[in-house]
Chains A and B, each alone.
Chain A
């Protein structure tokens, strides 16, 4: 079974631009979560999608948005990029079955905002 796939692997953008990141979950997983990882802040939860609906949302500004498609693939969009948005963005999928809630992470997208 293929793992969680994130594209692109690296991105360089300038302030004010917008960016879209993509995540393809493990086949059969209907939940996709997004996390921002920075050296000083650890893993910060952005949002979780399940069956095309946002299930939970973290404490991030409205510039951060996401969506999920019918095939469970998810995209995350960040508009009006700021220098502080530079981070590793990780997505994780999980199968929402009882007792099997572990997260499977992708390799992440390293975003640099100049």
Chain B
């Protein structure tokens, strides 16, 4: 099955700086890659996603890039703010089903 790994596990950034989280996946058949943000004690919230026919997608301060050849995708957060502090999960799923395989999460801390 699909195996997703996230790096680094913890990331601290100064407010206003950029944060980048990278995920690698193992199944070349995977074609959908969402990113979720989870605040303490709450359910994950989808913040951005990308499909395999697109190399990059942007939504205001958040962007996701996909490198299918290298089998990795990254979340980019620009102009970080304290409310960006959370755990971020990446996931991947092969075409034909919604059985998401999640990474273990990345704790992002934005220092005011």
Whether chains A and B associate is no
